[in-house]
Amino acid sequence: MEKLVIKNIGLILSGKMEDPIFDGDCMVAIDGKITAWGKQADLDCEDATCVIDAHGVTLAPGLIDSHIHPVVGDYTPRQQQLHWIDSTLHGGVTTLISAGEVHMPGRPKDIVGLKAMAIASQRWYENFRPSGMKVHAGAPVIEKGMVEQDFKDMADAGVKLLGEVGLGTVKDGKTAQQMVGWARKYGMQSTIHTGGPSIPGSGLIDADMVMETGTDVIGHINGGHSALPDDQIICLCENCQSAFEIVHNGNERAAVLTINTARELGKLDQVILGTDGPAGSGVQPLGILRMIAMLSAFGNVPAEIAFCFGNGNTSRQRKLDTGLIEVGMCADFVLLDQAQHAPGKTMLESVALGNLPGVGMTVIDGVVRSERSRNTPPAQNLPERIV
């Protein structure tokens, strides 16, 4: 039995917008799953195989990036970069979700080839976790000519995602809606490229097509990069029940418009975050933390709620077993504290003022995966493994 005890926690963020801060100073996980939290004196902390003294820092569910474009291992050909996933772990992210392996050189676009690549991508990230990171990949881009059996074949083989609708040859809402329906029938989640073209070869997806297609996630509702006109973003927020995914590599003004609109509509629970990296903008190891700070500072959202956009909301929208403090959820955590010399009386206040927190440790499936971040500003206090 592997038993993890984290004691002397200063603050527990739950990932739950309806109750974002939990009481307690101690977290217990057995065999990689959360079993209990609360006051240390009330918990069974005996026989721990790993003990962490948090030294008063904040514990939050590990952050989730809802929109990445991986290719293979910890390498991206998009910017010829190694170890971007390890760097992202140092930004407090413990789970990545592919929106398509579109940067694979020579990516097959014929139907048998794209199916084979989706299955292979799902496998190689299931079989190899760079630095322990959970990477949900194998997200095919739909192409003209696909039939229902193709989606069944992929689902039977373990493919659970669609890449961004619109990056392939399917450019009309009617065909896209039919294929997204087949994907959903076989348990595959879907997302769509919202806004103007990202790179030469991709096209415009407007609000009408997003609504007609009806994907589970409105991928980069703030554009990737080019955003839709304001009235179309507001229209999507008003009319859609799906996730509003705001990405780092999008239009920041449109991100603030989305958060303000969602807040006014009482729909903040639909807001989730991604980076959309690697991409033309490079990779963003701190992208999710930067979005949390930016949306809290400019979107009039308390920091403890903004953190939920980066873990609990994504967990719920995408039906994951991580991202929330709940019995049975994966023990995936980020321990963080106010950055040294950042203004604000507390970590949350400093984030609400637009500052990044300092990451002191990440834990995935109950195992310490990284210690003091090499990428965030240095934290005031650091957790320490004592057993």
- From the list 383, 319, 327, the residue with the least C-alpha distance to 30 is 327
List C-alpha distances in Å: 70 to 250, 319, 320.
Answer: 18, 21, 19
Output 130 or 166, the one with its CB closest to Zn ion.
166
- Binding segment for Zn ion (CB under 5 A), chosen from 16-24, 39-47, 134-142, 223-231, is 223-231
Output 130 or 223, the one with its CB closest to Zn ion.
223
Residues 6+ positions from 189 with CB-CB distance below 8 Å: 160, 161, 162, 183, 216, 217, 318, 319
Q: How far is the CB of 164 from Zn ion (least distance, A)?
A: 5
Residue with the shortest CB distance to Zn ion = 193
- Binding segment for Zn ion (CB under 5 A), chosen from 45-53, 163-171, 246-254, 318-326, is 163-171
Residue from 140, 224, 299, 366 binding Zn ion (CB under 5 A): 224
Output 103 or 372, the one with its CB closest to Zn ion.
103
Output 90 or 193, the one with its CB closest to Zn ion.
193
- Binding segment for Zn ion (CB under 5 A), chosen from 2-10, 38-46, 162-170, 357-365, is 162-170
For residue 228, the 8-state DSSP code is P
Judged by DSSP in three states, 57 sits in coil
The number of angstroms, rounded, from the C-alpha of 270 to the middle of its chain's C-alpha atoms is: 13
What SS3 string covers 330-370? Answer: ECCEEEEECECCCCCCCHHHHHHCCCCCEEEEEEECCEEEE
Output 164 or 269, the one with its CB closest to Zn ion.
164
Output 78 or 193, the one with its CB closest to Zn ion.
193
- Binding segment for Zn ion (CB under 5 A), chosen from 15-23, 198-206, 257-265, 342-350, is 198-206
Residue from 3, 55, 69, 193 binding Zn ion (CB under 5 A): 193
What strands lie across the sheet with 58-61, from one edge to the other?
Answer: 21-22, 11-13, 58-61, 333-337, 358-364, 367-370
The residues that touch Zn ion, with contacts defined as CB under 5 A, are: 164, 193, 198, 224
